[in-house]
Structure 1
Amino acid sequence: MTGTPRRIASTAVALAATIGLLLAGGPATAASTPAATPAAATPSPTAAALTAGTVAVTGTPAVGAKLTATVVGFGPAPVTVAYQWMRGGAVLTGATGATYTPATADAGATLSVRVTVAKTGYTSLVRTSAGVVVARLLTPPSAVTISGAGTVGATLTAAPGTWAPAGTALAYQWLRGGAPIAGATARTYRLVGADAGTTVAVRVTGTKAGYSPAVRTSAGIGVLAPFTSTPKPTITGTAAAGKTLTVSPGTWLPAPEQLKVQWRVDGGAIEGATGTSWEVPTWAAGRSVSVSVTAVKKNHRSVTTTSAGKAVALSLGSVMTPGTTLRPGVMLTSPDGRYTFGLRGDGNVALTRDYALVRTARTTGTFDASLLFSGDGELLLLDERGVSVWSSQTAGLEARAAILGNDGVLRLVDADGDDLWTSAAMSAQPDATAAGPSVPGRYGWAYPLRPSGTFTTYSGHSGDDIAAPTGTPVYAMRGGTVSVREVWIRTGCPSWAPNTTKQKEVVVTSTVDGMRLEQVYAHLSAFSVKTGQTVAAGQRIGSVGSTGCSTGPHLHTAFTVDGVRYALYPRDVLGTAKY
């Protein structure tokens, strides 16, 4: 052997220490292995024995609730105590204090604490407490909600959602401004006067044996008191262009701090029309006017009520000023009411006397049109693209008014009242197919049934229907050439409608102001004309029936205009759905 005696001795000592450590099994890791009770220190010949005491876990064994290791009776005092908390007998890493707060992972597990009591000159003692079982956790819903209106007198209902496990008992507590409402512990709650102006919520508590209680609180709902009297407003005044209407709001209770007014035409709000009175503009002629009133008061729910509609007269009176636009059906009327001038539903600009054509612009078939009295004094018929189809050719002559007199003449006059143009410039002869003054009808169109009728239709329907008994005479609305036919309805008939016979129908083809117009009269029970025959407006062509696809006796009549369907309806040409 070589080397110095000191080096050899040092190596031997190190080797012996290593062998001793290996034989002892090496150091243990408490967090990864079940806890073993540490051996008490080997007493020295002079060590005394400690007096044994007790160790217990105190506190509520629930997630989030602090537990305390209570060590009592070890002595003689003072002694030092080391703590180690355990879950199911396994060491909880880092849990070495006198207290421990269970985490979610501890739910349902057994916790205990092991203490090592030591004192210099005494043999250390190790004691482990009895275990306590940590309550398991309920699975509450993510949110609790409330249904119902936040108005005093209304009932709110709590929607608690789904709680797990099954069998979880639910308790309710309604809150006003975050504070419990005495006695309000049911799932429903009827709002009272004290709730007005506050926020009401509900707190739901879930409980089940062996589980920690869980609480969910809903979002709050603002509560307002109701108005106890909410009358509909009424409109007074003449509903005609240029006239002033006034609203009467009625008596609201309790008295509002503010009443907001909004005038409407055909249901749509009119910008700026928010006063208690309103002058009807010319563009509202023939439309329905109503007014809404909204009551406002602190801690009360605002309420809006709307009046019944009031029909505005189609007539603008006998005078029209530049800048006025007439829709189909809107007209000037002579002071005695006998003459009218305006744009008819068939696109024709016409002067009429007692519904009979007197003079026309021969513009039938101009659909979606408007008649404008321009700012520079010209009458213009504009089609759907805004292109002029007819005019009075008075642009630049500075007409100041259009006046219809009792003599049946429309005049465009200047500032001095002198005529610049009159309706005498229009065609005095209506189309040869038009109904004459002695034929019951309107604006050159005869009534298809007499003495009265009501047109009905629906979305996608190609024309108008008039219910009438079988055998009622049917008359041509316009003169023309007849085609008689009987056809099976193969498509478009709903399954619930009878369709067991051929449909009898008459088609009258006319040329009106250069427009080819085919009008069908369908479901007839009998014919009064033959194919190729020429008929005049108002001439009988058949009888009402229920042939073809039909649920009952009625007349179906519809137009095809220059090969296009759905462009014109019988109600349009007569200017009314009921006569």
Structure 2
Amino acid sequence: MWFAADPGTTWRLCFTDSWYQPTDEGMGRWTPAVRHTDGCWDAGGGSGVALADASDISFTDVGQRVDVTVVMPTAGKALTLGYPAIVGSTDTGATLTASPGTWGPGTVSLSYRWYTYSEAGGREQIPGATAATFTTTSAQQGMQVGVEVTGRRTGYATATRLTSLGPIGRTAPTVTSPLTITGTPAPGQTLTASHGALSPAGSSVWSEWYVNGVPAGYGTTFAVTTAHRTATVEVRARFTASGGGERLATAKVRVPGLAFTPATPTVAGTAVVGQTLTAKVGTWSPTPTTLTYQWYRGSTAISGATGKTYTLKAADRGARVKVKVTGARAGYDTASRTSASTATVKGVLVPATPTVSGTAKVGRTLTAKVGTWKPSGVTFTYRWYRNGTAISGATGKTYVVAKADRGARLHVRVTGSRSGYVSQSRSSASTAKVV
């Protein structure tokens, strides 16, 4: 961009990235991926500084040109802003409700600030008015009332939109029955904004339609197409009396999507702590374009367990685990199916390597020392071996060395067991040759 400057003038360059041009409005097709902080140019390279800290650019001669490069700090990714509206009337004492519209992506935290607008005072915040609703009083008489909706999400630049209603104190028209949407919400059908009779005579209504929060047309009716499957269709009707009083009402319907023929998933893997389970989704018709997963311990969703696989944790021991699979595809209603639960998840013992105490000599007694196994409460069984071959009947903690053992090496194999755990076995080192 360029600016014309007169000799003898001094400039400071400041920029703002607070302007949002939605893709659906007029010629606005600019939807940047990121937004930038507001601030001013600094010759030292610190773009984004306050006005008081910005660098001067002075012009002394006709034809002088100054080129600067400005790189503003990134504030975050760009939110998709909703189109807010104030639902309610201009009657004094009416309760107004901020309808924020549809913000995204994902979950956006919204906050509200209410204002008055007047020619004399401009825009002034109403003290303490930070809820989604506000009840007007005589203090707002003759002024417009507006609400500022601010969206926040971690990693995204904070954004704000305003809307207003008024002036307050003008009598709004009444309707004998509330605004509704009539007709079948299905492709090829026509929806109609319906309401009761307006009073007083001469009152009018102006209706605007939205699809998933985005403006989609004006008028009393709305034609549903296949592109609207799974969408929420909203109508906002502004009723206006001849005296200027207004009432804004909204109504919504959802257009159903096509239906999947889903499959019930199964879980592959062994229900033992440390083992990995895998969700087998089966065959869906048609094939979803996206599949999401949520693993459960009993009936409780496991935090962060949203992948196709899940590695069993110590917290899963004693529970049964299952997975819910959700399929999505454009034009189809999402569908979810849950697997059968696994067997009760078993824990894994932490074993110790046993040792053999005693002298490897015929007639002497050898004793198996199991060491420290975890957790406590483990029961043990024993099997003694001669040169790697199990000795018949030698299944006690101790073993009396027999004549048949002379010249051989002995060792013991210890097996630990505990309810709810997978049994583990460990073998000792071999003794010296029996003498």
| TM-score, reference length from structure 1 | 0.29
Q: Which has the higher contact order (CA 8 A, sep 6+)?
A: 2
Structure index of larger Rg: 1
